[in-house]
Structure 1
Amino acid sequence: MPAERPRILYVSDLAYPARGRRYCDEDIHLTSRLREDFDLALCHPRDAAALMDAFDAVVVRNSGPVLGYLDVYDDFRRRALAAGTRVYNPLTGKGDMAGKQYLLDLTAAGFPVVPTVDRAEDLPLLPDAGRYVVKPKLGADSIGLRIVSREEAAEAADGTVLVQPHVDFAYEVSFYFVDDAFQYALYAPHTDRRWQLEPYEPTASDLEFARRFIDWNTVRHGIQRVDACRAPDGSLLLVELEDLNPYLSLDAVDDTRRDAFVAAMKASLRRFVTGSA
């Protein structure tokens, strides 16, 4: 049974050079607030497997793309699952945590997602477009993303990459959830500046859209970010369901919403650690 002040191992790569974001600032703030309720230590993702047995739970936050240390991450997953270690977010997510296969699955199931295929013979299933986006199935943070012609897309679509039509969207918007509770939304009004975010007040239909993906996923405890784009017809299309280590852009919200988010995360984490949910 966890102590009155549960012990948390907080995993982050403070030095990861994220474009337009400062992981260290966000995690310094979050850890300072979590220490009010938990005994906490911070470590690099490469050290998590060796240290996690001494803690009541492991919180994976801004740990960077796992492509840079995939063997270490796979070992961490195996050991955590075998030992029944509480990992927040739990390692059962079907979104980015498991790769990009979900974009194919959701396309096939008729969800409102940017249409996605992975083989040349399926290209006719995509809307006609002058340009196409090709990206690795195990990609993250736009690593390996290319914008190509249809002919180049056909050559690349060998089952190892995803192919999508290049959508001329009006803007990107992100919805942030703790467990199944909506916290706030942010959007990038300038399409060429993805991480210059401003507060966004979602409509009821916007939230209904985002909740479809939260309900679809299997993460009952933790933090998720639903990234979408506003298509030319005014609809929203899913771009990414980030359920591993979503950057929160807490510096873009006001003090009231930031404090509310921290309170929701503390309550969620305590329920998760004590098994009281």
Structure 2
Amino acid sequence: MRVVTTKAGLGRIEDGAVALLDTAFPHLGAVLEQEGSLRCLASCAVRRRVPLDEATLLAPLERPRAVWGVGLNYVSKAARTGRGLPEQPILYLAASSAVPAPGARVVIPDAVAEPDYEGEIAVVVGSRLYRATESEVWPATAGITAANDMTARDVMRATAIPALAKSYPGFTPLGPSICTPDDLADRDAIRVRTRVNGALHQDDTSAGMIFPVTELLSRLSWFTALEPGDVVLTGTPAGTGQDRACFLADGDEIRVEVDGVLPLVTRIARPAGTPPRDHRLTEPVS
């Protein structure tokens, strides 16, 4: 089942159209908070159908409670950058306020000189995971979606704090649809591709992950409770702008394609005449 949040209500994607559902839930995050899964939407009556290209799609979860990410989680990315494989996941927590609506224009702040894209598979938690085994992860997963885990590379170098480099407004686009696990052809090899202005730069599957989905969420759940509607970004493969020394510019369009879900499109804007400012933090207080 593929589901969306639209301006007209929740819907299932069926035969190239959105089947708007007879439900009072305002967004998919509210469904997960109350139900712990999206399965109840499979039996909802259909109010009406609208062509997919006529539906106004909103952020599927509205604003997640928590967005977790992981650095260096693809063998291809480690090989491209010449880094060794990590023994433990490199985890961080980003601001949920960075999640915009699908298709939104992201304005690059003047403090950022090297904005980059990162096409990723995002896992949406359905029911609570705490001290979970790997076998408990997929049954507790509501679904997957596409993500563009944008990063200010210069800010990352200057601060060494992923949350600061990734939490600018609009820097974590998610959606626009969620695919439930039972609709995935192969949970162990979910494909992710990223195109910039139509050119393919990233193409890999989750089979290339250093820490697969089940292991990643299991490990994370031993340090924190993952709650319904939380999102875990699972890392990006080789082919980012960092790998090519080519960063995002005004007018660029990034398209992230993940198996089972609608493409996620992000458009970049950088106001003219605003050169990057010094983004360094002030000296810490001793």
Taking structure 2 as the reference length, what is the TM-score of the superposition?
Answer: 0.30
More strand by share: 2
Higher relative contact order (CA 8 A, sep 6+): 2
Q: Is the helix fraction higher in 1 or 2?
A: 1
- Normalization by structure 1: what TM-score? 0.31
